[in-house]
Amino acid sequence: MTQGTMALSDEGSRGAAADATGLIDRLGFSSGKVTMSTNVKLEAVEPAVTGEGEKPLIELRNVSKTFGAVKALSDLEVSIRPGELVTVVGPSGCGKSTLFNILAGLEEPDPGNVLRLKGVSSTASDLLGKVSFMPQRDLLLPWRNVIDNAILALEIEGMPRSEARRQAMEMLPEFGLAGFEAQYPNQLSGGMRQRVALMRTFLFKRDLMLLDEPFGALDALTRTMMQRWLLDVWQKHKRTVLFITHDVDEAIFLGDRVLVMTARPGRIKLEQVVDLPRPRKADIVTSPEFIALKKTLLEAIEEESMKSFQVSGH
């Protein structure tokens, strides 16, 4: 894989090898005998297999967002079915994070939009607390250890700490963090911090999960491990995931569909279905189907990157 090319590995380099071994270890036995813990509710139980006619979990139409003079999103249309893993790529600054902020309820889009969660029309702020959101940075609290960082969302929901901790402890091995529960964020490598943040997102059990470049700051090796691990976990937990990345390989490797966004103001330029069989092995990236998809996507992205380059390069 060539995913390392754009990785800004400022924190990722630390302890990469340890991460990788930990994960290989985990993957080794998670594939076989790990049983799903009972506490994991399967909200998005209907798998995507039920077909095209299924009601979307979330639907956006005519969504625009203006910040002062900057138009970040323009008439965006997105629709996500339950159980799907949809990846989003696009030039930087095209409004990907803005889209997530709207879906997480943190930003209200411009008036005139349609936003439906499970068919119910809502405003963005209705979505606060309804979507599990992982922002671009891990944003772990330095005074909380691994377990207590992971249960932050559960605590806010009002779950008693002991119960929340119990649930988190059960999830630790799956996230390659067994034995690290009492460590503090400054004792962890970049990859581990990211997994704690992911675990925090997973424990906040919501129908829709938003991951904003979760592996963006990791080195290539750790990142590849994390992608395989994410697929593994996703297949077991059956969550609906929207995943932002700037890496085309990652977008194809993970996604059921890849959405390519245009340069600012962001719209969906291309919606590419990825019909590669699952479970996907690491060597799938060298298959002709993969390469063909990559070519199509790269062309679309290149076009948009040029545009945004010209716009900002005036």
Partner 1 sequence: MTGVSTSAATLPVASTGRVHAAVKPVLWLALGLLAIEVLVMALEIRPYYLPRPSAIAANIMATPGAYLAGLWRTFLETALGFVAGSLFGVLMAVIFHRWVTLRELFFPLFVVSQTIPVIAFGAVVVLWFGNTLFAKAVISFYISFLPVTVNTLLGFSSVDPRQVQLMRSFGANDVQILRRLYLPAALPQLFVALKLASSLALVGAIVGEWFGDTTGLGVLLLQAMYNENVVGIWATIVVSACLGMGLYSLVSLAERKIVFWGGEQ
Ligand X SMILES: Nc1ncnc2c1ncn2[C@@H]1O[C@H](COP(=O)(O)OP(=O)(O)O)[C@@H](O)[C@H]1O
Question: Is residue 95 within the footprint of ligand X (CB under 6 A)?
Answer: yes
Number of Cβ within a 10 Å radius of residue 142? 8
- How far is Cα of residue 241 from the mean position of the Cα atoms in its chain? 6
Question: Is residue 176 within the footprint of partner 1 (CB under 8 A)?
Answer: yes
CB of 241 to ligand X, least distance (A): 17
Interaction partner, residue 312 (ligand X, partner 1, Mg ion, none; CB < 5-8 Å by kind): none
Residue 156 structure tokens: 């806010």
Q: Which residues, other chains included, contact 136 with Cβ-Cβ below 8 Å and sequence gap of 6+?
A: 97, 212, 213, 216
Q: Which of residues 246-285 bind ligand X (CB under 6 A)?
A: 264
Report which of 153, 164, 108 is spatially closest to residue 131, judged by C-alpha positions: 153
Q: Look at strands 131-134 and 208-212 and give their pairing.
A: parallel
Question: Is residue 157 within the footprint of partner 1 (CB under 8 A)?
Answer: yes
Are the C-beta atoms of 298 and 91 separated by less than 8 Å? no
Residue 77 structure tokens: 């249309």
Which region, judged by CB under 5 A, interacts with Mg ion, from 3-11, 29-37, 96-104, 149-157? 96-104
Question: Is residue 94 within the footprint of ligand X (CB under 6 A)?
Answer: yes
Q: CA-CA distance, 127 to 135, in Å (whole number)?
A: 16
Which x/- pattern over 40-79 shows residues binding Mg ion (rule: CB under 5 A)? ----------------------------------------
Which residue in the set 12, 90, 91, 135 belongs to the binding site for partner 1 (CB under 8 A)?
135
Interaction partner, residue 129 (Mg ion, ligand X, partner 1, none; CB < 5-8 Å by kind): partner 1
Which residue in the set 3, 30, 97, 132 belongs to the binding site for Mg ion (CB under 5 A)?
97
Question: Is residue 240 within the footprint of Mg ion (CB under 5 A)?
Answer: no
Query: Which residues on neighbouring strands pair with residue 59, listed in sequence order?
Result: 79, 116
